[in-house]
Structure 1
Amino acid sequence: MSSPRGQIAHLGYAELRTPDLDGTVWFFENILGMTTTYRDDLTAHVRTFDDYEQTSIVIRNATTSGIGRLGLRCTSDEALDARVADLVAAGREGRWEDGLAGTGRTFVTSDPDGHEIALYFDTTWYQAPEELRPGLKNQPQAKPNRGVGVRRFDHINFLASDVEAAANFHTELLGARVTEQIQMDDGRIAARWMTYTNKSYDVVYTEDWTGSNGRLHHLAFATENREDILRAADLCLDNGVPIETGPHKHAIQQTFFLYVFEPGGNRIELCNPLTRLVLAPDWKVVTWTEAERAKGQAWGLKTIESFHTYGTPPLESAKDFTYTPGILL
């Protein structure tokens, strides 16, 4: 097996499922300030202003909320083929297909928890139309004149029945690095943060207390600064978007955050992690204990109960938090 380190360039796109396509698109356009580049009866493609690729999120009409897939861009065609060869050798099933969201040749597989992962290299670089052309030629698109104006699709947090097995898929077969984790008193890993870049994290796995597979905790979008998150809280309050928790600061990874629910029921984080990078090539994993985690967030706010009990798609058979559109939490 060849070394996987450095063969995944970055997070590409995510496919988000929603039972309310119009409502979800409204949220991405008017609260997050993203731009719709394609729309039909079943899907919409939206982008942040500073992502260079054509699409950041594919929103797909579905019977319930949840995650469809995560796209990871490889560093080259050769890197893509090398990752696929190692995935196949490790017994991970997959298929080749024409790309989604402006991407080319794509290999679709899944992690041990059943989340779909798509690897690709060929992609479509965004070309802004005249009305969205930026004043600075090194920026893909003009900054939006509505909503928060999130800068990029920053990270994804998956729920998993076995965090360690799912995370090992990324580290052993795709080359991610672990930066921080939570280890419970019984020794099990309850959450793990990983990066493919010099950001402190790109992909997170959190323990699904229901024991279910393939669910989503949240998608996160980076803001320009902390003031944008405070503005987002006001925009959500003004427009009846349910706020779950925040604004506040995470102890783990030090991210300033706001968690809200978009109209389809998926949890969305607005985050400002831009000041923290992992530059050390020999970074030592930071492990948080169960007692340390129980202290709550950095400035004393206890973690809200729904943060541990709600995921998408929601589970009717479990004691899952019930999301009610239009009700502020």
Structure 2
Amino acid sequence: MSNFDVAQLAHVELYSPKPEETVKFFTDIMGLQVSAREGQSVYLRAYEDFYHHTLKITEAKEPGMAHAAWRASSEAALYQRVQSLEKSGYGKGWIEGDLGHGKAYQFKTPDGHNLEILWDVDYYQAPDHLKTALKSRPQKRPNIGVPARRLDHINLMCNDVTKNKNFMSEQLGFKLRENIVMNNGQEIGAWMSVSPLVHEVALMNDQRGGKGRFHHIAFWYGYPQHLMDVADLLVENDIVIEAGPGKHGVSQAYFMYVFEPGGNRIELFGDSGYLIFDPDWKPITWTEDELEKGIIWYGSPLPEEYFLYGTPDITPAKVK
């Protein structure tokens, strides 16, 4: 297979039991723009996202990730990946498309996360009042909230990190950038990408023993200072900050984790960490003894809830 068949994370669909409150969080606090509304769904994008949408919010009984979509590097690459996915046994089949993109091939991870791969996309066209003279930006910088600049990555909770890591590598060409391995040999975290970003997908062990759950979606703000600015807005608007601002050792990311009103965890990313241009990059492994600095380089420790809560929620009180 070609290591360049998958180009980037294209969009993510999240479920929310409080869709209007969730959309208000993304628009009023994070500065995302509504591209369209259709049925029970709202399509949004950050102001430096070039596609029709990078986030879809759909009404549902429970929060969680409905699916994540990856864009192939060409139409030929799309069909090449589909052939491999069909042989893997994890393929689900084609859909005709959705608002903002053409036909897509749906599949699942070994853990059961719903993913799709596509090629044809619609590009955002700014109305006259949002057009900017800065030609490398698709629209003017919004003057609401502390606007997020673009979609960055997703984090998926897994019953078996290694199995899912191997799937992302073998079927989609993702490269392992960093991982965490415990003294007993268990791999509990893996950070992977198809671009110079340190990760577009992170896989973490589900300590509750669940399968196919969602940990968080991350949007990039550009500067760590913006995390301090948006923290003020969050507190004054009764949005729960779970952790941060702080810095991870893994990925060197400046982070803040919050819960949107529907219950999904959102990471506000104040820096993109480091970029990898070395074609012979060797993955960085953090051991159990190095875990403290790997998780928190500086800042307050992450709460226990960070390692246990995912969506859908399966905390003991929810287990039937």
The answer to whether TM tops 0.5 is yes
Which residue does the alignment assign to 2:19? 21
Which consecutive residues of structure 1, in runs of 5 or more, have no partner in the other structure?
321-329
CA contact (8 A) 1:222 1:274 kept: yes
In 2, the alpha carbon distance for the partners of 1:275 and 1:93 equals 33
Which consecutive residues of structure 2, in runs of 5 or more, have no partner in the other structure?
none
How do residues 242-281 of structure 1 correspond to structure 2 at under 5 angstroms?
242-274=240-272, 276-281=274-279
Q: 1:183 aligns with which of 181, 191, 194?
A: 181
In 2, the alpha carbon distance for the partners of 1:107 and 1:263 equals 31
Shift of 1:248: 0.5
Shift of 1:92: 2.1
CA contact (8 A) 1:9 1:196 kept: yes
In 2, the alpha carbon distance for the partners of 1:113 and 1:84 equals 19
Which residue does the alignment assign to 1:327? none
Deviations for 1:46-68, whole angstroms, at most 9, x for unmatched residues?
00011111101010000000000
2:306 is equivalent to residue 307 of structure 1? yes
Which residue does the alignment assign to 1:203? 201
Q: 2:162 aligns with which of 161, 164, 187?
A: 164
How do residues 111-126 of structure 1 correspond to structure 2 at under 5 angstroms?
111-126=109-124
Shift of 1:306: 1.0
In 1, the alpha carbon distance for the partners of 2:244 and 2:301 equals 11
Deviations for 1:195-237, whole angstroms, at most 9, x for unmatched residues?
1101111001100011111111000000121111111111101
In 2, the alpha carbon distance for the partners of 1:10 and 1:40 equals 25
Which residue does the alignment assign to 1:53? 51
Report the residue type matching 1:253 in the other structure: S
How do residues 272-291 of structure 1 correspond to structure 2 at under 5 angstroms?
272-274=270-272, 276-291=274-289
CA contact (8 A) 1:4 1:83 kept: no
Secondary structure in structure 1 of the residue aligned to 2:107: strand
TM-score (norm 2): 0.96
Report the residue type matching 1:297 in the other structure: I
Deviations for 1:80-135, whole angstroms, at most 9, x for unmatched residues?
00001111122223210112341112100001000011100000011011121122
Shift of 1:275: 5.3
Work out the number of aligned pairs and report it: 318
2:99 is equivalent to residue 92 of structure 1? no
How do residues 64-83 of structure 1 correspond to structure 2 at under 5 angstroms?
64-83=62-81
Report the residue type matching 2:309 in the other structure: Y
Structure 1 residues 50 and 300: CA distance shift in structure 2, 3 A: closer
